[in-house]
Amino acid sequence: MREVTNPSEVANALARGHLAILPTETVYGLGADADNKIAVGRIFTAKNRPANHPVIVHISGQEHVSAWAAQIPEYAKDLATAFWPGPLTLVLERLPRVGDYLTGGQDTIAIRVPQHPVFRQVLAALAKEKNDQAAGIAAPSANRFGNVSPTSLAHAVEELNDYLAQDDLALDGAGSRIGVESTIIDATASKPIILRHGGVTAEDIDTIVHLSRNESHVRAPGTLASHYRPKRQLVLTTESELKNSRGGALIAMQDIETPVGFNRIASPENADQYAHVLYSALREADKSSEAVIYAVPPTGGGLAAAIRDRLNRAAT
């Protein structure tokens, strides 16, 4: 694998069937041309990802959704208008163009329009390479399946360097702004259902369309009970319970005091900062001498819901 700086070089490599580590505003992804079954299969091999686990297809704009999805409800169009480009993924009924290798065998396709300018440059260059304005990049997180997602190029390369080929590429983007993955919405029902909390909050969505509280049977990335796991044991706790703990690495809001015996790894001031530093803090704790990582999850709504989701799965 080679690190490069030119988005057009990456697009050319993707068009020829290679893989590339790419920056997004959420986390770093491992990308392949979404129309190339063999290349997308290599993503699954590199990540050790189960074949029935769908991937998200990233496209350059809302106007290209109809090239991938068969039915687009009006509320889905409204959500796309409000939050794209951005950290929102819509699950829609798929067209014949979409193979099982993208969907995990389901009749749906997960689509997102990313915001990161470098990723968007790669999409634009890939559209020229393929003469297809609706060209898509399949790009799950650039880590081994179930591990902590990477929010920097260094973390992504560290995770996957041994599993990628010499002609695969890595493109930097100065880190991920948000730090947790996109919100995933099941948009196949009469009302939207949140499958995974992320960078667009439930409160944000409710300003556009009321969410359904029903269950969904759609499989989506990052929704297994155990996911985003550090190598060390992760214990979720409260400020009062910390006083009875023996010590270890600690991730907690800045206003929570660090008890004696704890090695403070992160002290975010708010939920936005917590999301931004969460994965890098878990990786730092993994490299420390501490046997246990303690995390005090943030309370309240908004992005805190996504952080609690990731911590709960990481601790399972």
Domain boundaries, the chain: 2-206, 233-314
What is the architecture, at CATH level 2, of domain 2-206?
Alpha-Beta Complex (3.90)
How much is the pLDDT for 243? 85
Say whether domain 233-314 belongs to CATH 3.20.20.70: no
Per-residue pLDDT of the chain (316 residues; tens, 9 = 90+): 999 999 999 999 999 999 999 999 999 999 999 999 999 999 999 999 999 999 999 999 999 999 999 989 999 999 999 999 999 999 999 999 999 999 999 999 999 999 999 999 999 999 999 999 999 999 999 999 999 999 999 999 999 999 999 999 999 999 999 999 999 999 999 999 999 999 999 999 999 999 999 999 999 999 988 999 999 999 999 999 998 888 999 999 999 999 999 999 999 999 999 999 999 999 999 999 999 999 999 999 999 999 999 999 999 9
Helices (H) and strands (E) in the chain, counts: 10, 15
Determine the Cα–Cα distance for residues 67 and 98; give it in Å rounded to an integer: 9
Per-residue pLDDT at 139: 98
- CA-CA-CA-CA torsion sign (169, 173, 174, 178): negative
pLDDT for position 1: 95
Tell me the pLDDT tens digit for each residue of 96-146: 999 999 999 999 999 999 999 999 999 999 999 999 999 999 999 999 999
d(CA 159, CA 198): 22
pTM, to two decimals: 0.96
> What pLDDT is stored for residue 71 in this prediction?
87
Backbone angles phi, psi at 161, to 5 degrees: -55, -40
Task: Say which amino acid occupies 21.
Answer: I
Q: Do domains 2-206 and 233-314 have the same CATH topology?
A: no
Give the model's pLDDT for residue 192. Answer: 97
Question: Looking at the DSSP assignment, which residues form a beta bridge with residue 250?
Answer: 264, 294
Phi, psi angle pair for 268, to nearest 5°: -65, 150
Which has the closest alpha carbon to 278: 244, 308, 248?
A: 308
User: Three-class SS of residue 115?
Assistant: coil
- What does the alpha-carbon distance between residue 215 and residue 284 come to, in Å, rounded to a whole number? 36
Angle, CA of 96, 102 and 107, to the nearest 5° = 50
Tell me what pLDDT residue 68 has: 98
